[in-house]
Chains A and B, each alone.
Chain A
């Protein structure tokens, strides 16, 4: 898709706001609609858009599958780790009341942390799934992306 100048330029302009919106959905998820899952999907959409326009190889260079493996596991660990931390502080598993000096702050931190873990894992897994499907049966990643009929 190298010759489609319009698409390339528009993509370049769009990717930053998409990621910004993803972060907005992520960090306002505790008070407004949104949260880790939605934010993760929006963020992954930015990476997938990049891969569609600039090729899978470029996307893999920017966000490597190895990194995604690590962040995917880390996200799950952050989620479970938050639970274990509250457990160590004397509460039940995932009881955010015990995370900070008072319950209100504890609930706030707990939600933020857990949603961050969810978001991280969702970005990684969605992007990994895309990489696997898009990379199926091709040697040279710089060819036309799948689904492009021309």
Chain B
């Protein structure tokens, strides 16, 4: 019985949220739906942890959907890379489910709350599905599930601008999804297969054709749109700014990471590092774009007055760090990418949750309105400061580990200009986080604003869980860096 359960875990991670979403719709009430959401995400977190351990001990797992053997049916495939991503996604989902209740009660009309939770579950289902699947077309389907539900989630924001930003995201996201589909179609045309491992085995024979090159280009551009890499990032600031707080926290911490994972999976597992990075100059292109993302994102963040928008621009810069890592196509580089994926998820989750707690009290989140809040909401403000320090990369926080590993990775092949870019971008992070901290602690409350108290205890608990996770990673980084290194070796096939 136990063994049968273990064998079914890869499917259960996506089946549970898929079942829970219609149950929420049937329940028709916000409160019970929240409970279903809470239970599901925690159960999935538990499953993800078990899968992580199972893969660590026993190696990759393959699961044949519907009993159809892999190259023909849909295969779920778990290895050292995607179990880490799955653990991150389900962990953030579980923690943000604790956070969501009070935040949703304040921001979403109560008669719509059940739909909100259903959409959140579908979004989680999609993200988990992208992570676990070993089938290229299936990945596209899950990407669409998560994207469609996130458009709906963002549109539920309390301001009317939320509708416009959701529409903007819908247009950009659909273009991205279509590009990805065209790319996958090209690969299917040339190899006659949709299973990733099978495509990888058949690709070398046809690798030197325009079709495969075009397929690679479409896939790179399509996924880049989804994780908002530099020139195709314009949808992100609005989407994150106007989304409900719990959605900003969940999506900012997970959705872009999963899209980055999808690109890594295509580049390393399907095309192979040798093809994408040695035969084609993809590495150079991505390195330049990642530097541009880091510098332009950080620069834009400095000039924002809305704290959520500031964090959104900072996300664009942080995506640069993640892309820079795997664009090096070395074990150290991919390790740095995975480490920063996890750390950035923890950091941005914590920051958006802290900001959401302030929004819960103030109903606004501009720098002028949060001035002097450090004394009235000390616990929330402290959470923001610690997570902010982690974003900058202060020692003893997760962000420091990320930057350290990334610096090592770029210094090894002697890319000193990349190291310089990392340092400059970190200094810029110091400036924009510093502006918020300055407003929180060194300014008086503006005239005419009533005194406010702390946020609800569940919101604080969730925020601080992520903040403490940051510190834990900073103080004891071996498990994370070890897991990331195993992931890098797994996707690069060891040698490099």
Contact = CB atoms under 8 A, between A and B. Distances in A.
Contact of A93 (B4, B25, B26, B66): B66
B55 interface: no
B284 to A, nearest CB: 42
A83 B18 CA distance: 11
Interface stretch (A31-39, A67-75, A135-143): A67-75
Interface string B50-86: 0000000000000111110000000000000000000
Contacts of A81: 19
Contacts of B214: none
Contacts of A94: 65-67
A73 B66 contact: no
Interface in B1-31: 4, 8, 11, 15, 18-19, 21-23, 25-26, 28
Contacts of B63: 92
Given A87-B11, A92-B63, A92-B67, A69 B19 contact: no
A96 B65 CA distance: 11
Nearest to B20: A80
Contacts of B28: 69
B166 to A, nearest CB: 16
A103 to B, nearest CB: 9
Interface residues of A, number: 20
A77 interface: yes
Interface string A74-94: 101100110110010011111
B15 A80 contact: yes
B11 A92 contact: yes
Contact of B15 (A69, A74, A93): A93
B26 A92 contact: no
B15 A76 contact: no
A1 B26 CA distance: 35
A93 B65 contact: yes
Nearest to A91: B67
A97 interface: yes
A95 interface: yes
B5 to A, nearest CB: 10
Contacts of B21: 76
A85 B64 CA distance: 16
Interface in A87-114: 87, 90-97
A70 B26 contact: yes
A80 B4 CA distance: 19
A136 B8 CA distance: 45
A76 B22 contact: yes
B26 to A, nearest CB: 5
Contacts of B19: 77, 80-81, 84
B65 A92 contact: yes
A7 to B, nearest CB: 35
B463 to A, nearest CB: 32
Contacts of A84: 15, 19
Contacts of A72: 22, 25
A61 to B, nearest CB: 20
B64 A69 contact: no
A14 to B, nearest CB: 32
Contacts of A76: 18, 21-22
Nearest to A94: B66
A79 B211 CA distance: 37
Interface in A113-145: none
Contacts of B22: 72-74, 76-77, 80
- Most A CB contacts (10 A, CB to CB) among B23, B26, B28 go to B26
A64 to B, nearest CB: 14
A96 B28 CA distance: 31
A148 B64 CA distance: 51
A93 B28 CA distance: 28
B23 A93 contact: no
A26 to B, nearest CB: 20
B26 A73 contact: yes
B64 A92 contact: yes
A81 B66 CA distance: 13
B8 A87 contact: yes
B373 to A, nearest CB: 40
A69 B28 CA distance: 9
Nearest to A75: B22
Contacts of B23: 73, 77
A90 B11 contact: no
Contacts of B11: 83, 87, 92-93
A66 B380 CA distance: 41
B26 A74 contact: yes
A80 B65 CA distance: 13
Contacts of B66: 92-96
Nearest to B25: A73
B8 A92 contact: yes
Nearest to A103: B67
Contacts of A70: 26
A115 to B, nearest CB: 14
Contacts of B67: 91-92, 94-97
A73 B64 CA distance: 26
A76 B21 CA distance: 9
Contacts of A73: 22-23, 25-26
Nearest to A90: B4
Nearest to A76: B22
Contacts of A87: 8, 11, 15
Lowest 7 A-B CB distances belong to which pairs?
A95-B67, A73-B22, A73-B25, A93-B11, A94-B66, A76-B22, A73-B26
Interface of B: 4, 8, 11, 15, 18-19, 21-23, 25-26, 28, 63-67
9 contacts: A70-B26, A72-B25, A73-B22, A73-B23, A87-B15, A92-B64, A92-B66, A93-B8, A95-B66
